[in-house]
Chains A and B, each alone.
Chain A
Amino acid sequence: MKFFHSIRWRLQAWHSLILIIVLIGIAWPAWDVQRANLESRIDLELEQRLTLLARFFDPAKGHGPRRPPPPIGMLADESGPPEPPPFDERRLPPPDFNDFELPEREAELFKGTRTTDFYYALYDRDGSEQKKSEYAPDDLPGPDEEREGIHFRTRGYLRECLLVYRSGHSMIVGRDTSPDYKELKNFAWFLTSAGLVVLLIGLLGGWWLSSRAIRPIKDISGTAKKISKGDLSQRIPLSDTDSELGELAAMLNHTFARLQANFEQQAQFTGDAAHELRTPVAVLLTQTQTALARERDAGEYKESLEACERAAKRMRSLTESLLALARLDTEVEKAPREYADLARIVSESVEQFSALAQEKGIDIKQELDPAFFSCNPDQISQVVNNLLSNAIQYSDAGCHVMVSVKTESNQAVLQVRDNGRGIPETDLPHIFKRFYRADKSRTRSQGRVGLGLAITETIVKAHGGTIAVESTVGRRTSFTVRFPLPEPA
């Protein structure tokens, strides 16, 4: 049954069916036309012979009519399709066949033993045989019609033409048509074999064509199988990108590439996460194992527990950040957007940080122009908070932080500048990378994990924007975020 599910076999089956129908549709009528032509030709010949015969019969003396014989050729009537006998036998007196004699030339037409030869027979009004040609069949039955006129009958391969006179006399001309039918049969065989050959060629050609068409599908399913086994780097080999299958393959390749990128990103992510978690876990393990190694006093236990708490808090902030990042990776595009003012989001953020800034002796200044754009306000808030928090974190007392929002050409531009510690040149290209911390030892102890800027960049990009940084160590740092604004209506 698997046979019938294969596209290629189905194509072949339909193809052969159609071809067979077409071939039969051509061959059958061709043969039929031949047969019809053959039969009418035979009948025409018989009639003509009959006519010929009847000419030599003069009704007055019992023979043919005296009317001049119509200009008929020996075998064929040049004037076209067969016509009824040129004389009207109803005007004739009944024939008498006794003196019937054919002239030699005409007698020739009825001579011979070849089965293609004609024969004749003449009958009296009572149906008894009066005269017969030399080679007429012995068992020729008499007339089986009494009506006047010309009648045809077929006995096996013998086709006979019967002329019945008003007087009741009748005349038969007949012929063995088996050779003709044999030729017809040969013609039929010829048509059949030619048809079969054409069918065979058609099938082979069709097979070859459908193989070629199916091959890209095999390529595709082969590659898909390898991919499903785990090798995501496989791609469908493309040679013809314009055909329908070529387009399909190109699209699938694109999908596979995205799948692979996704998997790699996930693997990278889980690798990074595990790595970052290892150290606080090591702290927990070593602290507790050391504490449990022997009897300790309360003070020592307290110290140990405090160290464990610090490690646990680090793990907490790490897992929170990781979850946020994971969620962001999958959902950043789906967060609902509304039309909001960037300036308002920024001013709310600044307010949140004002207390902390004041504590640290840092002054925050803002220059905000309204800038409405389509965004998810919570996510944008996160971005602003992150940039502000970094600015404050890396500045010392007496420094300034300047936040500005303005519109330039068709972009909303957010800038956060500070004159704090700055970022070393070697770190600048990496600061947006996940888990990257420029000042490793110090910041780690404060629970910072290195994901803030990575999250910020992801959000900015999802909104179609860009983020850039400039910094001089010990002097200043400046982050510039640009969001595209909708075209003015």
Chain B
Amino acid sequence: MIRMFLYAAGFVAVTLMLVLMQPGSATDQAAVTQIQDVSRDATPLTGPLNDRLDSILSDQVQGDQIQNGPPPGSRNVAATTDAMPAAASSQTDLAADTSVQRTAPQDVSLTPDAQLRNLTWTTLSRLNAATGQDAAPGREGSMLNMIVRRSLEVTSPAPAPQSVTAPPPQDNRYTVQPGDSLAGIALKLYGDVNMTGPLFALNQTELPRANALRAGQVLVLPER
């Protein structure tokens, strides 16, 4: 008699074990549903677009007037990787994307919004590379344009420079000074960093690559 009970109990126990340890339950669900721990793209992004981004968002931009104030207190995200406000952090983000490996624990600290942002940027850069849409940096539709716009939105909710637009240059030439960058020149002469794109596009003979900017070069200035 007792043996019957034990056999039944054994069957039930084995069944429960099989149910709980099914391969198709928890782990697949994690992969199918929402974002869990989105890690940075481990493969280095290559191509002309990234080279331009690296050069334009170089150290010189850090010193420019792009960072228009402290980041709003509401964006209290982890200070390590995803402090969005200034070009400094954009540069760090991009540098991280182009580095070979990123350890996972850093990504766990990102907020879901930051994870989604990084995921979107990675997707965007891949799309641009895949479609050959290497839009001139700064031009509408390029990654640089989007990054800078986002930075400006976060750092300066009420952009003051609107009322103090720099007057358009008198003649249409500008001599590059030491320490200048394309974005810095655009900001200085036009008060609008989006002019980086047209500036670069108009000087393709002088600047085969954006980081070929040298002091003493004479740039042709586009119309506003």
Answer yes or no: are A and B bound together in one complex.
Answer: no
Residues of A within 8 A of B (CB): none
